[in-house]
Amino acid sequence: MRQPHAYPRKSRVSAVRKWKRHWQYYLLVALPLLYILIFKYIPMFGVLIAFKEYNVVQGILGSPWAGLDYFKQIFDTPFIWDYFKNTLEISLYGMLVGFPAPIALALALNEIRNGRFKKTVQMVTYAPYFISTVVIVSILIVNLSPNTGLMSSLFRSLGLEPIDFMGKPGWFTSIYVWSDVWQFVGYGAIIYIAALAGVNPELYEAAKVDGATRRQKIVHIDLPSLVPVMVILLILNMGNVMSVGFEKMYLMQNPLNQASSEVISTYVYKVGLLETNFSFSAAVGLLNSVINFILLVLVNFIAKKVSSTSLW
């Protein structure tokens, strides 16, 4: 007679054997999952601070509830919408310039037939990614200095008056965005180069037989093959549109360019840590995250309707 729990026991034994056979792969997956759990999910408990009169002595659970008072305070805070505007402006400008740049670089590298030159270009464009943010900002400050910078020397040699680029709010956004493009364009092109490497060679051979030019091959073969990757990365970028990097922004900031350089991340740092107004800064950060989430869902919905590619 067959035992009533034979099949479940057999499946459990099979699962244990499978785990023992491939434990190295499960270990590799466990490490990033553990990182996400510790640094992404567990800190979500701190969201309660935005709804409480938080103080360090009483702790998160012991602090009295404040309800939506701090969210109402956001709308009454002077200049808060200027900071949201700066954040959105820098993010959209960065996407407008930084999103197509890796695509263009990947397409250009894909057309290079000289292997040594191709590897050299890849190395030169990829190398800035490994430079720390502090060094990047130091390079910018030194080279854009109105007194001793490289740009000021160039302007003087042309008989022009040097410009204090880091001291003028109008220049800050462009300096931030284009320095980001220089730093990340090579790294961002890797995924597109990998996608182009997977294109069926028979498509290029057929295009060559039909007499297609290089431009026509790029338009009708390369770009369509990159569309799924482009859509996914665009959705992910839109999910971070209100999350401008704090470190570089804070290091580049000074009293002269603060009208353009003060964004949500730097404002939350100053209010939350420097002024110890933890509840208000948590409310601002939570509102910023909600906006990012809404944009992510909206763009994913549009992408799903327009194309067959989406995150879910």
Cα–Cα distance, 101 to 188 (Å, whole number) = 9
User: What is the dihedral angle through the alpha carbons of 302, 305, 308, 312, rounded to the nearest 10 degrees?
Assistant: 60
Q: Are 294 and 240 in contact (CB under 8 A)?
A: no
pLDDT category of residue 103 using cuts at 50, 70 and 90: very high
Average pLDDT over residues 223-252: 88
Per the model's pLDDT, the better-predicted residue between 242 and 135 turns out to be 135
Least confident range from 148-152, 166-170, 249-253: namely 148-152
Categorise residue 200: left if φ over 0, alpha if ψ from -120 to 50, beta otherwise.
Answer: beta
Rounded to 5 degrees, φ, ψ at 100 are -80, -15
Average pLDDT over residues 167-174: 90
Q: Is the pLDDT of residue 60 over 70?
A: yes
pLDDT (tens digit per residue) in 248-258: 999 999 899 98
Q: What is the pLDDT of residue 1?
A: 46
What is this structure's pTM?
0.83
pLDDT (tens digit per residue) in 268-311: 888 888 888 889 888 988 888 888 889 889 988 988 888 878 88
220 secondary structure, DSSP code: I
Number of H helices, E strands in the chain: 17, 0
pLDDT (tens digit per residue) in 8-57: 566 666 777 777 787 888 888 888 899 999 988 888 888 889 999 988 88
Cα–Cα distance, 278 to 52 (Å, whole number) = 10
Per the model's pLDDT, the better-predicted residue between 253 and 5 turns out to be 253
Average pLDDT, the chain: 87
In the chain, the percentage of residues whose pLDDT exceeds 90 is 28
Q: What is the pLDDT of residue 5?
A: 52
Q: Is the pLDDT of residue 242 over 90?
A: no
Q: What is the DSSP secondary-structure string of 95-112?
A: HHHHTHHHHHHHHHHHH-
Q: Is the pLDDT of residue 3 over 80?
A: no
pLDDT category of residue 58 using cuts at 50, 70 and 90: confident
Q: Is the pLDDT of residue 86 over 60?
A: yes
For 113, what's the count of Cα atoms within 13 Å in the CB-facing half-sphere?
A: 1
Q: Is the pLDDT of residue 7 over 60?
A: no
Q: Is the pLDDT of residue 266 over 50?
A: yes
